[in-house]
Structure 1
Amino acid sequence: MKLLKKIVLVLVSLIILIALALFIYLQTTKPKYEGEENLANISKPTTVYFDEYGVPHIYAETQKDAMTTLGYVHAQDRLWQMELMRRIAPGRLSEIFGTPVLKTDKFFAGIGIDENSKQAVANLDKNSQTYILANAYLDGINQYIEQGKTPVEIRLLGIKQEKFTLKDVYNIFGFMSFSFAMAQKTDPLLTDIRDRFGMDYLKDFGIQGEFGTKQLKSYKGDYKEYAEISKSVADLLETSPVPAFIGSNSWVIGGAKTKNGKVILANDPHIMHSQPGTWYEAHIVCPDYEIYGYYIAGTPFPLLGHNHNYAYGLTMFENDDVDFFQEEDNPNNDKQYKTVDGYKNYTYQQKIIKVKDSVDVKVNVKTSQHGPVVNGLLDGLKSEKSVAMSWIYTQQKNQILDAVYQLSHAINLESFHKNIELIKAPGLNIMYGDYRGNIAWITSGKLYKVDKSVNTNLILNGANGIDDKKEFLPFAKNPAAINPSWNYVYSANNQPEPIDGYLYPGYYLPKDRAMRIDGLLAPKNNWTKEDVSKMITDNTSATAETIVLNMIKPLNVSQFSENEKKALSVLKEWKATHNLEDIAPSIYNKWLYFYLKATFEDEFGADNFKLLLSTHIIKQVIENQTKNVASVWWDNSNTKNKKENQSEILTQSFKEAIASLENQLGSDVNQWQWEKVHKVEFQHPIGKVKLFSKFFNVGTFGIAGSNEVINNQLFIYTDDAQIPVKGGPSTRRIIDFSDIENSWSVLPTGQSGNPMSKHYSDQTDLFVNGKFRKMKLNEKEIEATSTKLIFKPKKN
C-alpha cells in the first residue's frame, strides 16, 4: 500500500511539474508590447505604441523604417497565420499537416498561382517604392523569425522556418483572389442540372435572365457528373485552414445626408470565421505619410484603410472571372485536343508535393490553351473528357501589389480611381470617401463580353471557337458611381445595372441586403456615426416576410396540431428580425431547410443537395421559387405514380420542421429562441483536434443575425439542433470625417494570433454584442493610453 501511494505521489508530482513547465514555457511565448528591441536596417529609433486592444501605432522617420517595424510586430502576433497563408497557393500544406490536406495541395499546385507569382516578382520594378517597402516589410518578418519567439503552433508541428519572400506575398494574394470566385462551385453544378434534367429545371435558378444572359434553347445532354468539380472545390475551401472570402457590405454617405455635413464610410467584409481572424490593424505615422490599415497576414500594404484625408473599403464584385471548358481530345492521340486551327498538343508539367511522414507525391499538370485540366487535380471527377479551367487572374499581367500600394498612398480621388485599373482580378467593389466630400463606388476586374449565344454559368465548349472568344472591355466600362446626385453609394454583392445594355454575368448574391441598405439610406438625411452603428448590425431581412407569405398561402392547415398552429401564428406576426430572443427565425430557417430538401434532394441525391446548399445560387432561388406554383421541382421524382404539388411539399416540410424543433428544443414554442440555435465558434486550424480546442478556439456564442441580413452571420441550412455560423463580418468599420480621430471598428476575436496574448480574444464580447471600439489617430491620446516598444537600430 505504501509503495502504491509512493507511485501515485510520484505520478502526481510529475504531472504537476510537466504542467508547470508547460505554463512557464507558454508564458515565454507572449508577444512583447513594451520595452526595447534592436532592429537591423532602420535608420533611426522607431516607437511603437500598443493601444489597449493591441493595435500598433508606429511612429517612424521614414516609410522604410515603418515597414520594417511593421513586419516585425505583425510577425510577433501573426507569424503562424503568415506561415499558413503562404503555403496554400503553392501546394505546401501537406508538409506540415500530412496526407489529410494532400488533395488541397494537388489542386492549388496545379492551377498556376505559384508560377504567376514568380512572373509577377520578375516584372516588378526593382526601383519602385512598392518593391522597396514590400521588401522592408519582409525584412521585418524575417528578423522576427531569427530573433523572436517561435509560435507554439510552429513548435507543435515541427515546422522548419524559412525566410519570407515577395513570391509568398503574391501567393497570398493569389489564394485570396481564388477564394473570391464562385464559378468553381457553381458552373459544373448548373451544367449537371441542364444535362440531367433539361433547361426547364434551370428556370428557378434565374439562369435565363438574372445572370445577364438571353433565353437559351432547350437542351439536354449526356450526364457527365460535372458536379464532382463543384463538390471537390467546395470541399477544398470548406476544409482549408485558411478562410475564404464570401461577400460583404459597404456604403458611403455624402455630407448632404449626414448631420455634421461630412462623409461617413461603413464597411464589413464577410469572410469565413476563423481564429486568428483575417485582419491585423496597424497605424503608421511618418513625416510624409500616415495610414490606419487592415492587413492580411504576410502582405505589406492594407486592403482597407483610412487617414485624416480619405478612407476606403471593399466588397466582392462577384463578377465571373473563371470559366470551365470541355476539351475535345483527338480520338487518335489523347495528348492532343481540338481547336478551330486543328489539333494542338497539351503541355505537361510535373509538380512534386512533399508530404509530412510520407513519400513525396508527383502531380502531372496537363494544360490546354484555356488553362490547367482539372481532371487530374480534383478527386472524384471521373469524366474521360478533359475539363480545363480558365482564370483571368493567372492569364493577365499581375499588378496587384502595385495596386494595393497605390490605393494606400492615394493623393486624391482621381489617383485612387486610376490605380484600381491595375487589379485585373479579383473583381472588387472598392468604396471611397474623403474629407473634401467626395464619395465613390468603383469596381475592379478585367471585364469582358462573350458571344450572345454563350452562357458563362455553364461549362463551355472548348473546341468550337465561339465559347472562348472574349471581347475585353476598357476600364471605363467597369461599373462605378462617383459623387452621385442622390448622395450615397453602396454595395452588398448585388448585381450592378447594365452598361451599354450589357448585364455583366456573375454570381451575385440576392437583393436582400442591397434592398435593406438602400431602403434605410434613401429617406434619411441626418445620419450620424451612432445611426450607422445600428445599421451595420441590423438584423432585419428585406425579403423574409414576402417569402413567408409565399410559403404560408398554399399550406393545408386542416390537419395541423396545436403546436403547428402556434408556430404558424408566430411566423404570421414576424417582422423578419433575427434578434437573439426571436422565435420566428428558428421556425423559418428550419422550414426553409425541409422545403429545400423535399424539393431538390430527390433529383440531386443527398451529396449534391448538400453541395447546392453551400452555393450562393440557392439563396437566389428561394424567393422566386416559393411563389412559382408551376415549378417542375415540386414533384417528387421518387414517387412514380403520383405528382406532388407546391401545397403538398410546403405542408409536409412545415410539419417536419415543427417536429424537428419539438425534438430538439422541447414542445414549448416559446422556448425556441434564435440564440439557442444560431451559434458561432471561432475555430483555429489546430483547434479542430479536440485535445487542443479549448486552448486555441474562441466560443461558442449565441449570435444575432442571419443569412442575407446586413448583420450577415451566414450558415448552411441544416436540420442540426445548432446551426453553426460559418462566416460573417471579418471587421466592422465606421469612418466619420466629422470626427475622424474617433472612428469606430471591431474585430471578431482580437488583434493577436498568439493564444497567450491578452489580445487573442479581447474584442469577442464587443463583436458578438454588436458594439465597437475606437480607432485612434490622435498622437497624444495614443501615447497616454498605450504601452511603448522602442526599436533601436542594430549595430553591425
Structure 2
Amino acid sequence: MKKYKKILLVLAGFLLLVIIGIAIFINSLKPDYGGEKSLPGLSNEVTTYFDPYGIPHIYADNETDALRALGYVHAQDRLWQMELLRRVAKGRLSEVFGEDMIKTDKFFLSLGIADHTKETIAALDMQSEAIVLSQAYLDGINEFIKNGPTPIEFYLTGIEKEPFTIEDVYNAVGYMAFSFAMAHKTDPLLTSMRNKLGEEYINDLAISSDTSTVWIKNYNGVETDTLGTNITASVTAALDKLPIPQFEGSNSWVVAPQKTKNGKVILANDPHIGFAQPSVWYEAHVSTPTYEKYGYHLAGVPFPLLGHDRKLAYGLTMFENDDIDFYYEETHPSDSTKYKTVEGWKDYEFINKTIKVKDGDDVAFSYKKTHHGPVLNNIADQISGKRPISMSWIYTKPQNRVVHALYGLSHATNIKEFKSALPNIHAPGLNVMYGDAEGNVAWWATAKLYEMPDSLSTKFILDGTTGKEEPLRYLDFSENPMAENPPWNYVYSANNQPDSIAGMLYPGYYLPENRAKRIVQLLEVKDDWDKESISKMMLDVTSPVNTELITELIKLFDVTHLTNEQLVMVDSLKNWNGKYSLTSTSPTLYHRSLYFMIKNTMEDELGPEMFKQFLKTHLFKRQIAWGAKMENGKWWDNINTKEVTETRQDIIMKSFVDAWSSLVKDFGPDPSQWTWDKVHTLEHQHPFGQVASLRKYFNVGPFPVTGTREVINNLSFPYDSTGFYKVSSGPSTRRVIDFSDVENSISILPTGQSGNPFSKHYEDQAEMYVDGKFRKMMMNKHEIQETAESILIFR
C-alpha cells in the first residue's frame, strides 16, 4: 500500500510539473503589454499605454520612433495574420497548409501582384517620407520577430519566421485590391449564360443600371461552351480556400453641421469584410508633437486605411467599379507560341513559377501572358483546346502609388491636402468618405477609371484580337464621381450605383439599392443627428425593399390552396415591418421562400453548377427584387416540364410550398418555432478552427445575430440549399466620429484587438459587438494615462 501511494505521489508530482510547464509555455506566448523593452533604432524613449481593450496609445518625440514602436506592438498581436497576408500574392500558402492551397497559389501568382510589386520597388525613392516611415514600422515588426515570443500558429504549422520587407507592404495592399474585385466571378459566367441561353434570357437580368433605383448623387458645385463557367468556378474555389477574409462592401455617411444637433460634422463608417479570427483591423493611436492619428491598420501596412484626429476623419467603402476585363485571345493556327493582335501576331510571354508545398514535392507551373494579362485557361485547370481567355486588371497597369496615397491621407490637415492624395489610388476602387472640424463633408470615388467604346458591355468577355474593344483613354481624377459639401447636407455610400460621369454611367458590380434606400430614407427626415442616434442607425435592420417585395408577391398567392396555419403566416408576412429580430419568424419564412423562388426560376436553365456560381455574384443580389417583379419572361417557365408553361404565379406558389415543407422538416410543424435566431448565426473562424478538436480554442462564437443581407446592419450570408444562414461577412468595425466631442468618439471590433489566442483581448469585444454596443476611442492623454491597463516603455 505504501509503495502504491509513493507511485501515486510520483505520478502526481510529474503531472504537476507537466501542468506547470504547459502553463509557463503558454504564458511565454502571450503578448507583453507592460514593462520595458529595448527597441534598436530609437532616438528617444517611446511610451505605449494599453487601454482596457488592449489598444495601444503610442507617445513618441518623433514619428519615426512612433512607427517603429507601432510595428512592434502590431506584430506581437497580429504576426500570424501578417504572415498569411503577405504570403497570398507570392503564392506561398501551400508552404503552410499543403496541397489544398496549390490552385489558390497558382491563381494569385498569375495575377502578377508580386511581379508588379518588384517593379514598383525598383522605381521607389527610398528616402521619401512615406518609405522611411514604412521601413521604421517594418524594423519594429522585425525586432519582435527576432526577440519576441513565437505565436502558437508557427509551432503548429512548423514554418519559420522571416523578416518583413517593403515588398510585403505592397503585396498586402495588392491582395486587398483584388479582394475588392467582382468581375472574375461575373464576366466569364455571364458570357457562358448568354452563349447557352441566348439574349432573351440575358435581357431579363439586372446587368445594366436600373434608372428607378437610388443612385449616389454627384456634386462639385458644377461562343457556346462552359469555359466561362469553369473559370468562374475555379477562381471562386481558389478564393474560397483563402485563410484570410475578403473585402465585400460597406456603409458610410457623413452628416454636415446643418443636420446635426450640435452643429458639427459626424462621420459613420462600417466597412463590410468577411468575418474571420482575428478580425481585419488593428487599432492604434499614435501621437507625436507634429502628428496624431487614431487609425485602423491592415496587417503589415504602416498607415491607417481608416482614421481620425481632432481636425478631420475619413472612412472607406467599396466603389465596386469594373476594373477587370476579360478578353478572348486567338492562338496562331500553326505556332502555339503566338497570339493575334491588331498589329499582327505577337509572342506569348511564358512565365515559370515554382510553388513549395508542405509535406509534398515542389510544384512547377507555367502560364502564358498577352498584352492584356495572364491567360487563365491552364491556371484554372481548364480543358485544353478551348479558346484562350486573358484577364486585364488595372492594378498591374499604372505605377503603384497606393502606399504614398495612404501616407497622404493620414497626414493631411485639411480637405485640400486630403483630396490631393486621392489620385494616387489607382486600384482598388474606393469610395473615400470625409468630414472635418471646419464643417466640410465630401465623398470621392477613387480609382483609375477608363473610357471604353460606346455600346460595349464590359460585363462579358471581350474580343482581344481586333483592337476595337480596348480602353480609349484614362479619365482625369476630376471626372470621377464625387460630392463636396452638397446642398442636401450629407454624403453617403452603400456600394450602390453612382450618378453619371463624363457622359456615362460607369460600369461596375454595384450592390442593390436596399441599404442606400434606407440610409437616404433616414437621413432626409432628420436634422438633429447626434452620436447616439447615428450609432443606433448603424444597427438598423429594416429593409424597405424586402417589405415592398413581399407586398408584391403575396398578391399572387392563391389562398384557396393554403392551410389555416399557412394563412396565419401569410398574414404575418403582410404585416411584417421588415425588421430582423432574433424572435421573429417572418424573416425565416421569407428567406426560405426567396431561395426557392430563385432556384425554381433559374436552376432549370442554368444547371446546378452555373446556378451555384450565380448565387455568389453581386448580380444575384440585384436580380432578386428585379426578377421577382418581372411579370413575364422566359425565366419563369420550367424547361423540364415541356407540356406545361409555368407563370410567375405558379413559381411563387410552388416556392412558398417548398419553403414551408423544408421548415417543417427542420423545425417541426409549429411555425412559432421558426425563429430567426435558429438559422442566422455568426462564428468568427480561425484557419485552425476547421479542425474540430481545435475549434473551441481558436474560433469565436457561434452567436445568434440580428440583421440580414443588405440592411444597414449588413450581416450577410450565402444562399444555399441548407436554409441555414451562417453569416460570412459584415461590419468589420463600426465607427462614429463626432466633431462636437471628438475625444469621445466610439467604435467596436467584431472580436478583439489581439489575434493571439492567449491574449485576454482575443475576444473581449465579441459579445459587445453582437449586442450592438460601442466603446470609446480615447484620445485624451490624461484619461488614457488614468485608465491604462498597462504601460510598455521602449528604450
Q: TM-score range by the shorter chain?
A: over 0.9
* Equivalent residues in 2 for 1:396-795, closer than 5 Å: 396-720=398-722, 722-793=724-795
Displacement of 1:42 after TM fit?
0.5
In structure 2, the partner of 1:140 is: 140
Q: Is the 8 A contact 1:592 1:717 kept in 2?
A: no
> Any idea what the Cα deviations from partners look like across 1:333-374, whole Å, max 9, x if unmatched?
111111111111101120111111111111102100100111
Q: Specify every segment of 5 or more residues in structure 1 that has no aligned partner in the other structure, as ranges.
A: 213-220
Displacement of 1:744 after TM fit?
0.4
Q: Give me the whole-angstrom Cα distance separating, in 2, the residues matched to 1:381 and 1:521.
A: 52
Aligned counterpart in structure 2 of residue 315 of structure 1, from 292, 305, 317:
317
Q: Give me the whole-angstrom Cα distance separating, in 2, the residues matched to 1:524 and 1:161.
A: 53
Displacement of 1:790 after TM fit?
3.6
Aligned counterpart in structure 1 of residue 355 of structure 2, from 347, 353, 371:
353
Give the 3-state SS of the residue equivalent to 1:139 in structure 2: helix
Structure 1's 143 and 552: CA in aligned 2 closer, same or farther, altered over 3 A?
same
- Please say if 1:56 is aligned against 2:35: no
Displacement of 1:12 after TM fit?
8.9
Q: Is the 8 A contact 1:226 1:381 kept in 2?
A: no
* Equivalent residues in 2 for 1:14-53, closer than 5 Å: 18=18, 20-53=20-53
Q: Give me the whole-angstrom Cα distance separating, in 2, the residues matched to 1:2 and 1:480.
A: 86
Displacement of 1:6 after TM fit?
11
Q: Give me the whole-angstrom Cα distance separating, in 2, the residues matched to 1:704 and 1:580.
A: 6
Give the 3-state SS of the residue equivalent to 2:367 in structure 1: strand
Give the 3-state SS of the residue equivalent to 1:233 in structure 2: helix
Aligned counterpart in structure 2 of residue 393 of structure 1, from 389, 392, 395:
395
Q: Is the 8 A contact 1:396 1:424 kept in 2?
A: yes
Give the 3-state SS of the residue equivalent to 2:411 in structure 1: coil
Q: Is the 8 A contact 1:555 1:648 kept in 2?
A: no
In structure 2, the partner of 1:215 is: none
- Which amino acid is the alignment partner of residue 248 of structure 2? I
Structure 1's 5 and 562: CA in aligned 2 closer, same or farther, altered over 3 A?
farther
Displacement of 1:3 after TM fit?
12
> Any idea what the Cα deviations from partners look like across 1:36-60, whole Å, max 9, x if unmatched?
1111001111100000000000000
Q: Is the 8 A contact 2:209 2:497 kept in 1?
A: no
Give % identity.
Answer: 50
- Which amino acid is the alignment partner of residue 45 of structure 2? P
Displacement of 1:767 after TM fit?
0.6
Q: Give me the whole-angstrom Cα distance separating, in 1, the residues matched to 2:694 and 2:294.
A: 34
Q: Is the 8 A contact 2:592 2:723 kept in 1?
A: no
In structure 1, the partner of 2:293 is: 291
Displacement of 1:697 after TM fit?
0.2
Structure 1's 199 and 13: CA in aligned 2 closer, same or farther, altered over 3 A?
farther
Q: Give me the whole-angstrom Cα distance separating, in 1, the residues matched to 2:20 and 2:539.
A: 43
In structure 1, the partner of 2:155 is: 155
- Which amino acid is the alignment partner of residue 674 of structure 1? W
Displacement of 1:227 after TM fit?
1.1
Displacement of 1:18 after TM fit?
4.9
Q: Give me the whole-angstrom Cα distance separating, in 2, the residues matched to 1:23 and 1:651.
A: 61
Q: Give me the whole-angstrom Cα distance separating, in 2, the residues matched to 1:2 and 1:181.
A: 73
- Which amino acid is the alignment partner of residue 27 of structure 2? Q
* Equivalent residues in 2 for 1:6-21, closer than 5 Å: 18=18, 20-21=20-21
Displacement of 1:383 after TM fit?
5.7
* Equivalent residues in 2 for 1:83-94, closer than 5 Å: 83-94=83-94
Q: Is the 8 A contact 1:664 1:721 kept in 2?
A: no
Displacement of 1:84 after TM fit?
0.4
Q: Give me the whole-angstrom Cα distance separating, in 2, the residues matched to 1:2 and 1:245.
A: 66
Q: Is the 8 A contact 1:602 1:638 kept in 2?
A: yes
Displacement of 1:559 after TM fit?
1.9
Q: Is the 8 A contact 1:566 1:669 kept in 2?
A: no
Larger CA deviation: 398-407 vs 370-379 = 370-379
Give the 3-state SS of the residue equivalent to 1:140 in structure 2: helix
Give the 3-state SS of the residue equivalent to 1:204 in structure 2: coil
Q: Is the 8 A contact 2:207 2:619 kept in 1?
A: no
Structure 1's 557 and 345: CA in aligned 2 closer, same or farther, altered over 3 A?
same
Q: Give me the whole-angstrom Cα distance separating, in 2, the residues matched to 1:31 and 1:293.
A: 20
Structure 1's 561 and 165: CA in aligned 2 closer, same or farther, altered over 3 A?
same
Larger CA deviation: 290-299 vs 551-560 = 551-560
Q: Specify every segment of 5 or more residues in structure 2 that has no aligned partner in the other structure, as ranges.
A: 213-222
- Which amino acid is the alignment partner of residue 417 of structure 1? K
- Which amino acid is the alignment partner of residue 96 of structure 1? V
* Equivalent residues in 2 for 1:233-312, closer than 5 Å: 233-312=235-314
Give the 3-state SS of the residue equivalent to 2:156 in structure 1: helix
Q: Is the 8 A contact 2:33 2:792 kept in 1?
A: no
Q: CA RMSD in A?
A: 2.0
- Please say if 1:185 is aligned against 2:221: no
Structure 1's 381 and 285: CA in aligned 2 closer, same or farther, altered over 3 A?
farther
> Any idea what the Cα deviations from partners look like across 1:185-236, whole Å, max 9, x if unmatched?
0101111110000111112322245499xxxxxxxx4224311111122222
Q: Give me the whole-angstrom Cα distance separating, in 2, the residues matched to 1:721 and 1:201.
A: 27
Larger CA deviation: 251-260 vs 467-476 = 467-476
Q: Give me the whole-angstrom Cα distance separating, in 2, the residues matched to 1:105 and 1:3.
A: 60
- Which amino acid is the alignment partner of residue 603 of structure 1? E
- Please say if 1:126 is aligned against 2:132: no
Structure 1's 79 and 345: CA in aligned 2 closer, same or farther, altered over 3 A?
same
Give the 3-state SS of the residue equivalent to 2:369 in structure 1: strand
- Which amino acid is the alignment partner of residue 267 of structure 2? L
Structure 1's 537 and 485: CA in aligned 2 closer, same or farther, altered over 3 A?
same
Displacement of 1:237 after TM fit?
2.0
Q: Is the 8 A contact 1:311 1:433 kept in 2?
A: yes
Structure 1's 15 and 197: CA in aligned 2 closer, same or farther, altered over 3 A?
farther
- Which amino acid is the alignment partner of residue 100 of structure 1? D
- Which amino acid is the alignment partner of residue 195 of structure 1? N
Q: Is the 8 A contact 1:224 1:383 kept in 2?
A: no
Q: Is the 8 A contact 1:447 1:473 kept in 2?
A: yes
- Which amino acid is the alignment partner of residue 206 of structure 2? G
> Any idea what the Cα deviations from partners look like across 1:731-770, whole Å, max 9, x if unmatched?
0000000000000000000000001111000001111011
Displacement of 1:657 after TM fit?
0.5
Q: Is the 8 A contact 2:542 2:578 kept in 1?
A: yes
Displacement of 1:110 after TM fit?
1.2
Q: Is the 8 A contact 1:204 1:621 kept in 2?
A: no
Displacement of 1:391 after TM fit?
0.2
Structure 1's 663 and 7: CA in aligned 2 closer, same or farther, altered over 3 A?
farther
Give the 3-state SS of the residue equivalent to 1:84 in structure 2: helix
Q: Give me the whole-angstrom Cα distance separating, in 2, the residues matched to 1:426 and 1:670.
A: 46
Larger CA deviation: 468-477 vs 582-591 = 468-477
- Please say if 1:76 is aligned against 2:67: no
- Please say if 1:344 is aligned against 2:346: yes
- Which amino acid is the alignment partner of residue 52 of structure 2? E
Give the 3-state SS of the residue equivalent to 2:377 in structure 1: coil
> Any idea what the Cα deviations from partners look like across 1:436-457, whole Å, max 9, x if unmatched?
0011001110111111131100
In structure 1, the partner of 2:218 is: none
- Which amino acid is the alignment partner of residue 77 of structure 2? D
In structure 1, the partner of 2:116 is: 116
Q: Give me the whole-angstrom Cα distance separating, in 1, the residues matched to 2:505 and 2:418.
A: 26
> Any idea what the Cα deviations from partners look like across 1:506-546, whole Å, max 9, x if unmatched?
00000110110011001110001000011001000120011
> Any idea what the Cα deviations from partners look like across 1:61-110, whole Å, max 9, x if unmatched?
01000000000000000000000000001100011111011110011111
In structure 2, the partner of 1:217 is: none
Displacement of 1:10 after TM fit?
9.1
Give the 3-state SS of the residue equivalent to 1:443 in structure 2: strand
Larger CA deviation: 296-305 vs 662-671 = 662-671
Q: Give me the whole-angstrom Cα distance separating, in 2, the residues matched to 1:395 and 1:6.
A: 75
- Which amino acid is the alignment partner of residue 334 of structure 1? S
Q: Give me the whole-angstrom Cα distance separating, in 2, the residues matched to 1:546 and 1:532.
A: 25
TM-score in terms of structure 2 length:
0.96
Aligned length: 785
